[in-house]
Structure 1
Amino acid sequence: MSGLIPLPDEHASVGAARMWINPAHVVTATAIVDRHHEPPRLLVELKLTGLNISRHWLASGTDEELQAAWDAFAAQLAPPSE
């Protein structure tokens, strides 16, 4: 499944993907930090070509852990540098 990005499942084992997305189909991706939970949760609001906007869990943890998770996700969306 080369080129696809896994979206993790909050309730599955570590590394289990709930859904796989093609980065070429991402119109927008917005980071949302939900501080109503302990520990805080990082969600990504995605708009994919042909689909409605949806929110997906990426990580839970400290601000530093959430930032690292967002950076890793965003790096997967970026086109490969030549």
Structure 2
Amino acid sequence: MSALIPMPDERGPAGASRTWINPSHIVLANAILDRQVQPNKLYVELKLVGMNVTRYWLATGSLDELQAAWDAFAEKIANA
């Protein structure tokens, strides 16, 4: 059985989550980098089995911080 992965809440306190996903249900994960705002924001589009594509916020910060956030997320879903 896979552990659920918390999806961070952009408007909540640090570390807050309102949604948890089962990584074994992920069909597609796509990184979306928003450079229109400063600091930059990283989102992930997830397609889960039986659901529409949904976009979740992952992190805000420098490009290096966003790359680290994406790497951490990818590692979580790969190791599930």
- Give the TM-score normalised by structure 2: 0.94
Kindly report which structure 2 residues correspond to 1:1-82, keeping only aligned pairs within 5 A, or say none. Answer: 3-79=3-79
Output the CA distance in 2 between the equivalents of 1:65 and 1:79: 21
**Alignment RMSD (CA, Å):** 1.1
| 5+ residue gaps, structure 2 | none
Aligned identity (percent) is: 58
| 5+ residue gaps, structure 1 | none
- Give the TM-score normalised by structure 1: 0.92
| Larger RCO (alpha carbons 8 Å, 6+ apart) | 2
How many residues are matched?
79
